[in-house]
Structure 1
C-alpha cells in the first residue's frame, strides 16, 4: 500500500507530502489490522479541491481513541502520531459515525520545481 500511495502522490505532483502521508497510511492500516479482526481493509486516497483525503475502512463498527501509553509501552502511540502529523499539515482527522472508517484530510502541498 505504501508503494502504491507513493506512486500516486508522485503522479499527482504531491511528492512533497510523501513522507508524512506514508506514515499516516502505515499507522492507520496497521491499526485496522491489529484491532479490527477483519480480513478486509481498504485504503482510498483521493485529491479534490486542494485537499488530500485518506480513508482506511475495515467495516467493523467501534470506537477509536488515542491511548496514553506509559514510557515503557511498546505500542499505543500511533493515533497520537497521526494527530500530530495531520495538525502539522493543516488538516483534520476523524472516524466515521459508525466507526468503520478512519479518515484524514490534509492541505495538498505540491512539489516545488
Structure 2
C-alpha cells in the first residue's frame, strides 16, 4: 500500500489566483512516512528547479514539521507545498488544536530543536489561528516558480 493516502496538485482556483505549482498529500501518522515526504518534496523541488541550497533547507523543514505533526497530532497528517510570487510555502496539518511552539532544548536533549531549525532556515514561520496548521515560507530567487 502506498504511504500516501491522497495526493493532489494545486487546484484550478488556486492557479487562477496566481498560485504556482504545488502539491498536497495526506497520510497516516507513522514515523516511517517522514522519509517519503522528504522524497516527494525533493522530487517536486527538482521539477520546479528550486536551487539546491534552498531545496535542502525546505526538505529539512518538511522533515521537522512532518515529524512534529506525527508526534503531536491527532489523526491524519497533511503536507502542502505551494510556490507563489517568489516564495515557497510549506504547511503541515496535524489535527491538534494546541499550536506548535518553540522549545528550549538542553544540550543533552535528543529532541526539541525542530521548530528552532525551521525558524532559522525559513524566512518566516507560524501557526494558524486554530492551531491545526504549522507553516513556513522560503524566498525563491527571481524567475523561479
Same fold (TM over 0.5): yes
Q: Work out which of the residue numbers 23, 27, 30 in structure 1 matches 2:67.
A: 30
Aligned to 2:99: 63
Could you tell me which runs of 5 or more consecutive residues in structure 1 were left unpaired when the two chains were aligned: none
1:41 aligned onto 2:77 = yes
Which is strand-richer, 1 or 2?
2
The Cα of 1:70 is off from its aligned counterpart by: 1.2
> 1:22-66: per-residue Cα shift (whole Å, max 9, x none)?
100000000111112x23001000001111000001122112211
SS of aligned partner of 2:81: strand
Which is helix-richer, 1 or 2?
1
Give the superposed CA RMSD. 1.5
Relative contact order higher in (CA < 8 Å, ≥ 6 apart)? 1
Q: Which runs of 4+ in 1 moved over 3 A?
A: none
> 1:62-112: per-residue Cα shift (whole Å, max 9, x none)?
1221111111111111111111111xxxx110000011000111111379x
Structure 1: distance between partners of 2:94 and 2:120: 23
**Equivalent runs, 1:1-113 vs 2, <5 Å:** 1-16=37-52, 17-36=54-73, 38-86=74-122, 91-109=123-141
Instruction: Give the alignment's TM-score, normalised by structure 2.
Output: 0.69
Instruction: Give the alignment's TM-score, normalised by structure 1.
Output: 0.87
SS of aligned partner of 1:103: strand
Could you tell me which runs of 5 or more consecutive residues in structure 2 were left unpaired when the two chains were aligned: 1-36
Structure 1: distance between partners of 2:79 and 2:48: 17
